[in-house]
Amino acid sequence: MTAFQIATCAIFLIAYICFASERVDKTVAALAGAVLMLLVGVLTQDEAFHGTEIVRGVDWNTIFLLIGMMIVVAITRETGVFEWMAIKSAKVARGRPMALLAMISLVTAVVSALLDNVTTVLLVAPVVVILCRTLEIDPVPFLICCAVSSNIGGTATLIGDPPNIMVGSAAHLTFLDFLKVNLPIVAVAFLAYLGVLKLFLGPRLKVTEENRLRVMAFDESKAIHDRPLLRKCLVVIVLALGGFTIHGWVGLEPATIALAAAALMLILYRKNPTKVLETGIEWPTIFFFIGLFIMVGGLVKVGVVRMMADGALGLTGGHQPAMTMFIMWFSALFSGIVGNIPSTVTVISLVTDMARSLQGATGVPALHAANVLPLWWALSLGACLGGNLTLVGAPANVIVVAIAGKSGHKITFLRFLKYSLPLAMVTLVVSAIGLWIAFLR
């Protein structure tokens, strides 16, 4: 390794240690690392902002897809529909705890597949605390299940979870591709998740008849106070989903669809858009992505990722099932340690370089070659579901733990792990089997 490569690795490692430790603000660490790479001259600004054939630079497709969906969600949440769904699930479950856990998980998973995970848990989790308090049961397993089911649901679609947005963009996979490959695997993984919950948590959950009636007294219809806006939101979301479904055929990038949905939403909103644009868009998250893209670009530029890719190919001997399983479990473990957003950005560049080594070429044909394609799905499933391994694995986990702490139920790293690890492992094993059936037989 040259001194330049070592310096680049050092910047990268320090930033990633910050992500894992949660001591330093992630956005600050990512931006500082990125700027340092530019200052030292690892990357030119042009390479960082616009990319080259080898270095991808900032992935604006991902950035604008995130921004577009954040605007759609920021307006939708004002209607109270998230609260409505959480209360409705409790009442459909008639306050029975295992049924409630299953319903809340299902609703969180479906909503997370279509909209942003973080917003979903941010609005569902507090209602879950109220429900559990009313039922006089411990909210902690319910809260952890909110995060876990949100990450499972998000795995199903291109727009469901940031790792998928990035993988879809980098590998030129469409919304429909995700529905064909990930959705069936996620559906089975979700059932396996419910099975594990029923087995281990079911017998311990008991509530009194009186408390169940108190939950039934909640009036979910009152949660919705702007029905005209809700109708507009539903129309825009349906149109957006339609747009995502056909984006591959009409030759539009997903970010274009998301921005179109955001623009339409803002036109129909008719209130002051400033607040939505200022607080509805999670700017720290956006800058976190930008910092990560630049940092990983630096690592690619100096050839470290190429070395890692050749190492991974050497390790697996270029054997298809071994490569696929390696990428899936490596992505999962890496996500559990540093969080699934930084891990995905890194592994995307790894898989891209593996494709370059395997195919001796760049571009879409190399990325979609028969021996490369399964690696993208392995990365997507591994990173999304690996996000459930630990508390730092995915943004939704951190949000849920913060809400739990504020409500007086402290969730430590180990307590989270006790629930999340078995659930994550079950879904990852299902994914491994799914990948084998789909690609490796």
Partner 1 sequence: MTARDIMTTNIVTVGEEAPVGEIADLLVAHSFDAVPVVNAASQVLGLVSYDDLIRLVLPEFLDDVDLSFLPASAGLFPGAGGCEGLGDVKAKDVMRRDELQEVPPGEPVAEVARLMLTEGIRRVVVVEEGRLVGIVSHGDIVRAIVHPRLSAGSQESP
Minimum gap (Å) between residue 142 Cβ and partner 1 = 13
Minimum gap (Å) between residue 125 Cβ and partner 1 = 8
Q: Give the separation between CA 337 and CA 387, rounded to whole angstroms.
A: 9
- C-alpha dist (Å) from residue 159 to 55, 61, 118, 390, 422: 24, 12, 13, 22, 26
Q: Tell whether the torsion through CA atoms of 129, 131, 134 and 138 is positive or negative.
A: negative
- Binding footprint of partner 1, residue count (CB under 8 A): 28
- C-alpha dist (Å) from residue 206 to 39, 132, 136, 173, 226: 59, 11, 9, 45, 36
Minimum gap (Å) between residue 147 Cβ and partner 1 = 15
Q: Does 278 bind partner 1 (CB under 8 A)?
A: no
Choose one: 80-88, 193-201, 322-330, 421-429; the region binding partner 1 (CB under 8 A). 80-88
CB distance 377 to 435 below 8 Å: yes
Q: Does 67 bind partner 1 (CB under 8 A)?
A: no
Q: Does 271 bind partner 1 (CB under 8 A)?
A: no
Minimum gap (Å) between residue 409 Cβ and partner 1 = 10
Give 103 or 305: the residue with its C-beta nearer to partner 1. Answer: 103
Q: Is 188 helix (H, G, I), strand (E, B) or coil?
A: helix
Q: Does 219 bind partner 1 (CB under 8 A)?
A: yes
Minimum gap (Å) between residue 90 Cβ and partner 1 = 10
Count of CB atoms situated within 10 Å of the CB of 195: 12
Q: Is 409 helix (H, G, I), strand (E, B) or coil?
A: coil
Q: Does 229 bind partner 1 (CB under 8 A)?
A: no
Q: What DSSP line would sit under 2-46, residue for residue?
A: -HHHHHHHHHHHHHHHHHHH--S-HHHHHHHHHHHHHHHTSS-HH
Q: Does 39 bind partner 1 (CB under 8 A)?
A: no
Q: Give the separation between CA 81 and CA 87, rounded to whole angstroms.
A: 10
Q: Does 209 bind partner 1 (CB under 8 A)?
A: no
Q: Tell whether the torsion through CA atoms of 88, 196, 327 and 299 is positive or negative.
A: positive
Q: Does 206 bind partner 1 (CB under 8 A)?
A: no
CB distance 171 to 130 below 8 Å: no
* Token pair in block for residue 51: 């990319």
Choose one: 2-10, 222-230, 241-249, 254-262; the region binding partner 1 (CB under 8 A). 222-230
Amino acid at 333: L
Q: Give the separation between CA 345 and CA 24, rounded to whole angstroms.
A: 20
Give 62 or 79: the residue with its C-beta nearer to partner 1. Answer: 79
| Inter-helix orientation angle 117-135/139-154, to 10° | 150
Give 94 or 406: the residue with its C-beta nearer to partner 1. Answer: 406
- C-alpha dist (Å) from residue 146 to 106, 171, 381, 403: 9, 30, 19, 12
H or E, element range at 230:
helix 227-250
- C-alpha dist (Å) from residue 161 to 158, 178, 218, 381, 394: 7, 12, 31, 11, 9
Q: Does 80 bind partner 1 (CB under 8 A)?
A: yes
Give 117 or 155: the residue with its C-beta nearer to partner 1. Answer: 117
Show contacts with partner 1 in window 356-375 (CB under 8 A).
none
Among 49, 84, 329, 436, contact with partner 1 (rule: CB under 8 A): 84
Q: Does 287 bind partner 1 (CB under 8 A)?
A: no
**Chain centroid to CA 123: how far?**
17
Going by C-alpha positions, the residue among 40, 42, 18, 39 that lies closest to residue 28 is 18
Q: Does 92 bind partner 1 (CB under 8 A)?
A: no
Among 222, 227, 270, 275, contact with partner 1 (rule: CB under 8 A): 222
Among 47, 59, 161, 220, contact with partner 1 (rule: CB under 8 A): 220
Give 126 or 342: the residue with its C-beta nearer to partner 1. Answer: 126
Interface characters, 128-167, with partner 1 (x: CB under 8 A): -xxxxxx-x-------------------------------
Q: Does 223 bind partner 1 (CB under 8 A)?
A: yes
The DSSP 8-state label assigned to residue 208 in this structure reads: -
Choose one: 25-33, 185-193, 214-222, 308-316; the region binding partner 1 (CB under 8 A). 214-222
Q: Does 123 bind partner 1 (CB under 8 A)?
A: yes
Q: Does 44 bind partner 1 (CB under 8 A)?
A: no
Q: Does 230 bind partner 1 (CB under 8 A)?
A: no
Among 211, 245, 256, 316, contact with partner 1 (rule: CB under 8 A): 211
Q: Give the separation between CA 380 and CA 114, rounded to whole angstroms.
A: 16
Interface characters, 389-408, with partner 1 (x: CB under 8 A): --------------x--xxx
Q: What are phi and psi of 117, to 5 degrees?
A: -60, -45
Contacting positions for partner 1 (CB under 8 A):
80, 83-84, 87, 122-123, 126-127, 129-134, 136, 211, 214, 217-220, 222-223, 225, 403, 406-408
